[in-house]
Chains A and B, each alone.
Chain A
Amino acid sequence: MSEKLLEIKNLHVMYHTDLEDVYAVNGVNLSMKTGETLGLVGETGAGKTTLALSILRLLPDRTGRITEGEILYNGENLLEKDKHTMATIRGKEISMIFQDPMTALNPTQTVGQQIYEALMLHNNANLSKKELWERVDSCLEMVGIPAARRKEYPHQFSGGMKQRVVIAIALCCEPKLLLADEPTTALDVTIQAQVLMMMKNLRDRLGTSMILITHDLGVVAQVCDNVGVMYAGEVIEYGTLQDIFKSDKHHPYTEGLFGSIPKLDEETERLAPIDGLMPDPTQKIVGCSFAPRCPYAMDRCHTEKPGSCNDNGHQIKCFRYTDETAMEVSS
């Protein structure tokens, strides 16, 4: 068995509605080892959340469709599992925390009950009720909430506290993989730092692998080991933290991202955004997805899709670094 905890192969996901089809994920290849923290960066609409939801198969029933690809967790394809098996995996093997803590909790249940539910659903060790409640208490303590507050309802907590509860719920069963979808975006900066610190500590203590989805490069720098940059449903660059932050070679999009971050030590009058907009996800893209906005675009870029150039683990999908065209693996 490989060391790979999670391997995503050529994943294509789309949303099919009566009006139109939205191609959200267009051929993503990723892999993770145990204990690794992968940061997934990109703009809104890049397909990051869709990717994460696909792993747990939480896409909306009617509209979300995984059209191609495999998601291998510990070597097994999650896409082939039935509902019951997936339910045992969710929360226990793989957990997810979502973006908005304000609405992520059930307003009519106490926080204690919500953590308890997660424990109860995966009570493989057959602990008694009393023991389960004790675990609830320890989970709350773990995220820095006094256990006495377990009888309180979500509306009695502040935003930051709520997110901690969400994290407690996600981690209480000690999952191997945590999918964190912009966990601190909705919080203000000081709380953000606190929560991130807490997540890092927990990760270290429990040995959880994590996929951290964010659009904030600063957060990535603090927490992640590897980084993947997503654009228009594809991972256009992938590498270690060093590769992404320090290397000379970058995908033009990544350059643009870094370039758009205002620098403290320079005087500028205007921000430097990337020209143009993300391509219309309802259209299938011909050629490189970034080509319309790319300052280095060649004719070739508009018609052929670039393959991935692999430089010691640092992968970039751009014709500037590779001559290979991506192989369309059709299935």
Chain B
Amino acid sequence: MAIENITMPQLGESVTEGTIEKWLVKPGDHVNKYDPLAEVNTDKVTAEVPSSFTGTIKELKAEEGDTLSVGDLVCTIETEGAGGGEAVEEAKPAAGEEANKSPVAGSQNEMELSGTQGSAKPAAQKGAKGRYSPAVLRLAQEHEIDLNQVEGSGRDGRITRKDLQQLIDSGSIPKEGTAPAASQPASEPEAGAQGTPQPAPKSAERKEAPPAEAAPGDKEIPVTGVRRAIAANMLKSKQEAPHAWTMVEVDVTNLVQYRDSLKKEFKEREGFNLTYFAFFVKAISQALKEFPMMNSMWAGDKIIQKKDINISIAVATEDALFVPVIKNADDKSVKGIAREINELAAKVRSGKLTSDEMKGGTFTVNNTGSFGSVQSMGIINYPQAAILQVESIVKRPVILEGGMMAPRDMVNLCLSLDHRVLDGLVCGRFLARVKEILENISKENTSVY
């Protein structure tokens, strides 16, 4: 139930007023929408004023013979509750007008109507809320005025300096924590039921996640260029690329034996270590050649399959992470890769790595095993399509073909993939191929040179 106003319509372009010639209804009469209410005579035409609502005539506001200006109240109609889908539409502008004229009356009106009105908050009134001029903010601060409780008289309801000056002069300053019921947003369950987007709960959500604050004694570390770049890249990748994850375990007993047999001699001859990691990079490069889809990038409207196989490797320092690139890794021998890993790592640690040496990577291999990890979920090195984590090689009892159990050197390979580019099938096949290559490494079929 709501009371609706019928106002004098504009019955012609230059018409500013009309005279009630004859009432066609009386209080208590039931009228349907578009039913004639009164005959009105203007200097141009005689016309009927139609009802904008279905309901019961509540009160006639003018006598026959009275002349009313366009927009003046003619009569009021009590509309019939929840069925009033049409009434809601009509009510909106009326509520808006009321609210603009008198803020207090406006909010009462709003509350009265809220049962039927749904989302009919006058947008204009809230338009400039939350945008304050420097003068308004200063006055609000000086006089501890809670601006949420102030109704603005400026354009779109903006709170003006004069609004505050008048409050200050009148002495009735709305302080925080003394909010009158009228200006509080509707309670949350109700808002939910109405399906009305309420600004207040939203801002409350935002307040729940303030930036971390340092307590006394905490150390604040400024975010430097490298840290900022890492943060930006990681965030971009994690936000943009839908990550999927998979893992295989590989029996690298042969590889361990082979590498151990060469290790000492290699170091003496070449002057740097022959690491397991070099074998992994070599095997992965070889498999990438066979599965070019793994070596590709998301480019919005297309996927770019890269010709070159340039392996980014992650090298950590105390406080940062760099990803230098082994270019054309598929062309290089295990020794060549080992040398390059060694050189790039040395450059990272001495701070001599150039930005060129970090460019052009097409696939990333991350040696997480070097710090003891056995399982990890890498974040893809954007815009590449996948990252492979080589975990620690650990001795585990394994049941071999034929049912025998033996201690074997096992390693987990974990793959994070951009699911826009890659699907499980190709990744599974790729990993199976890497596994096959690695498990078949031996003195007989694999040369490090």
Chains A and B are bound partners: no
